[in-house]
Amino acid sequence: MRVLLAGGAGYVGTHTAVALLNAGHEAVLLDDLSGTHAVAAERVAQITGTSVPLVVGDAADDAVVSGVFDDHGPFDAIIHLAAFKAVGESTQKPLDYYSNNLDTTYALMRVGLARGIRSFVFSSTGTVYSDPADLPFTEESTTSIDLSNPYSKSKRMNEVVLEDIARVNPDLNVTILRYFNPVGAHPSGLIGEDPAGIPNNLMPFVSRVAVGSLEQIGIFGDDYDTPDGTGLRDYIHVVDLAEGHVVALEQAQPGFAVFNLGTGTPVSVHELVTSFEKAVGRELPKVVLGRRPGDVAATYCDPAKAERELGWKAQLGIDDACRDYWNWQSTNPNGYAGA
């Protein structure tokens, strides 16, 4: 298959590009480089030994997307990963988040449909589930659009829009992938997560403490109703997550489908930090702080549908993710900027 990967130079995009190329598919990356560096695409080529075109441009612009089809098409499928994703920032800049995260879908879908794509895979989030009583979340669990921040709302809005589009395009496959917490890096250490500024998410924060650019880990609450009092999450290795995109494309049937991509195994903040310390080989400075507003005690999925229907199951655990994240961070202490 020939695939247009929108947001292809980002964290999930680069790993998905590697997985596609390793499976014998072709990929063209479209990315505005607002959250990543061009060198990330070069690293994909280095890992796979295959050339990977990178088009620098805005996936929300029909003319840009048409240009990619003109120059690099035809494409069988679009994988849409081009989104703003900082939850805190989304509450400060709702217009930017709604506009970017929906306009990219509109432009990619408008052009993709006109050019005859057969499949459209969308990167969504497990935060669309809204009722903790449903844990572990299945694809049938209650979703809401009344979520705590514009980022999550924009993802749920996309799902609603895409379901309507699928309904009137019966030959098209639309697959929604609801990610839980992506972590880890490619085992080569050549690609990984490279957040700008101070990271909001746990593993990149811990990693920055380990590399010495941040002072200490802040644990957001140890008084939750969980086994060790810290928050429980479903951390999915980005290599497994990337593989999920490939099988979703390969197994795609016409119609609308939703899959959770997670491990199904909840891991606490304490457990993640301990695992990272094991990878680094020393204890890391940490302090327990108050709860972060908006956080929930626990979120994790039931990934059985993806196994049943796609034959996909996470193969890697939290120790693999910490080892690989640390390998990437320690060999690239300044991320791609140091390359």
Binding footprint of ligand UD1 on the chain (CB under 6 A): 87, 125, 127, 151-152, 181-182, 200-202, 205, 218-220, 231, 233, 269, 292, 294-295
Paired sense of beta strands 119-125 and 77-80, if any: parallel
| Alpha carbons 169 and 161: distance in angstroms, whole number | 13
DSSP 131-172: -GGGPSBPTTS-B-S--SSHHHHHHHHHHHHHHHHHHT-TT-
Helices of type H across 144-268:
150-167, 202-211, 238-250
Is residue 98 annotated as part of the catalytic site, yes or no? no
Matching residue, tokens 């993802």: 155
Give yes or no for a contact between 173 and 252, defined as CB atoms under 8 angstroms apart: yes
Least Cβ distance, residue 137 to ligand UD1 (angstroms): 13
Least Cβ distance, residue 26 to ligand UD1 (angstroms): 29
Q: Which of 97, 227, 110, 86 is nearest to 161 (CA)?
A: 110
| Alpha carbons 309 and 304: distance in angstroms, whole number | 9
Least Cβ distance, residue 181 to ligand UD1 (angstroms): 4
Least Cβ distance, residue 188 to ligand UD1 (angstroms): 22
Pick between residue 38 and residue 145 the one whose CB is nearest to ligand UD1.
145
Pick between residue 173 and residue 230 the one whose CB is nearest to ligand UD1.
230
Pick between residue 111 and residue 241 the one whose CB is nearest to ligand UD1.
241
Pick between residue 201 and residue 274 the one whose CB is nearest to ligand UD1.
201
Q: Which of 11, 151, 235, 325 is flagged as catalytic? A: 151
Pick between residue 100 and residue 127 the one whose CB is nearest to ligand UD1.
127
Least Cβ distance, residue 274 to ligand UD1 (angstroms): 13
Amino acid 70 reads D
| Alpha carbons 57 and 242: distance in angstroms, whole number | 23
Q: Which residue number is nearest to ligand UD1 in terms of Cβ?
A: 231
Q: Return the active site residues.
A: 151
